[in-house]
Amino acid sequence: MNKDDRFDAADYIRTSRDVDALLRTALEEVHDDPDAVDEAIRVIERSGHSLPSWWTEAR
């Protein structure tokens, strides 16, 4: 398997709804995986999308 064949969730983030769903899911999973939100943010950044306004306003 070469580098271009690896799965990257960022390749599947196509809309702001996808971003929203990923971040909300990460927030639900944070009790099982403390790194879930940080990883979701990295995926969103790699996808080229911005974080949703409800996230940036809450910070």
pTM of the predicted structure, to 2 decimals: 0.83
Q: With 80 as the cut, is the pLDDT of residue 4 above it?
A: no
Residue spans of the domains in the chain: they are 9-58
The whole-chain average pLDDT of the chain stands at 91
Residues 8 and 45 sit within 8 Å (Cβ to Cβ): no
Pairs from 52-56 (Cβ < 8 Å, separation ≥ 24): 52/16, 52/19, 52/20, 52/23, 55/23
Per-residue pLDDT at 56: 82
Per-residue pLDDT at 10: 96
pLDDT in tens, 13-31: 999 999 999 999 999 999 9
pLDDT confidence of 58, banded at 50, 70, 90?
confident
